[in-house]
Homo-oligomer: A and B are copies of this chain.
């Protein structure tokens, strides 16, 4: 049974929500280990008491250095010490990255860990990598991100021989910036199922199983998609409720809108995955519900059972000569 270290203190909705999520995941055969305040009512789940909490606004490196007894740092350390198989936190992505780099260290051969985010695209799930860990990249890094993303798609999204595309500014190979032009060549020469460039307009429609990009572009693009969904639905609600007929229509389409919202809910996929470390790290949204936390814990367990870390290690050294 996979043991998942869970940072109970990092979420916006309070530790009780995380406890409820962990309870739901345990019912599915996962063993959650909670890290948090000694006074927390864990409803029978195992608790490792911790005395500090990392806040969202703290600088990642400072938080990691100054809060060695925080629930976040201790949960990551449990994976490093072999006491847990993976870690889930609804806390700060930056602090998780800092803690993961130092405590878990990188898989041999990995130059840069990357953030993989599953996107509920219209044509089916796809994974965007890197979604923000590496603001400045070289082409070799993008090739590694693609390889890690392919392993993730295979093991976590159950996609056989995932198709990979490179996020750029035109479908033609010669469209892009210096980084994507070089990365395009490396990807085309790799043993991945590389299908060329994709554009920003394809992200939510479903460009590929794995959409690879540098962490700056990936972060801007992911937030553009998320923000556009929110702004558009808010604007539509405003326009609809501006008239009586619209308001009635709004009630009638509510089930459809709910189905759509559920399909687009990023929490279905647990959040963001830090790939390339010697231990699986899952970063749930800060405002995760108990259901979202349970999904994140289940997916972390799945990643541990499928040995995503081991498979990354097995795939990457083959490319050591070109990085």
Contacts and interface: CB of A to CB of B under 8 A. Distances in A.
Interface of A: 122, 132, 135-136, 167-169, 176-178, 180, 199-205, 213-217, 219-236, 239-240, 242-243, 245-246, 248-257, 259-260, 263-264
Given A224-B228, A248-B252, A249-B252, A132 B204 contact: no
A246 B253 contact: yes
B260 A236 contact: yes
B256 A231 contact: no
Number of copies: 2
A236 B216 contact: no
A239 B259 contact: yes
Given A203-B227, A260-B239, A220 B169 contact: yes
A9 to B, nearest CB: 23
27 contacts: A122-B234, A135-B176, A136-B177, A169-B215, A177-B214, A177-B216, A200-B219, A200-B221, A200-B222, A200-B227, A201-B223, A201-B226, A201-B227, A201-B230, A204-B232, A205-B227, A213-B220, A232-B260, A235-B260, A236-B260, A242-B256, A246-B252, A246-B253, A246-B255, A249-B250, A250-B252, A252-B252
B232 A256 contact: no
Contacts of A256: 236, 239-240, 242-243, 246, 249
A232 B235 contact: no
Contacts of A240: 253, 256
B224 A169 contact: no
Contacts of A252: 245-246, 248-250, 252
B177 A135 contact: yes
A203 B178 CA distance: 25
A135 B227 contact: no
Contacts of A217: 216-217, 220
Contacts of A239: 256-257, 259-260
Contacts of A264: 232, 235
Nearest to A134: B177
Q: Which 8 A-B pairs have CB atoms at the shortest separation, nearest pair first? A: A249-B252, A201-B227, A200-B223, A200-B224, A239-B256, A249-B253, A135-B177, A228-B228
Contact of A224 (B135, B177, B201): B201
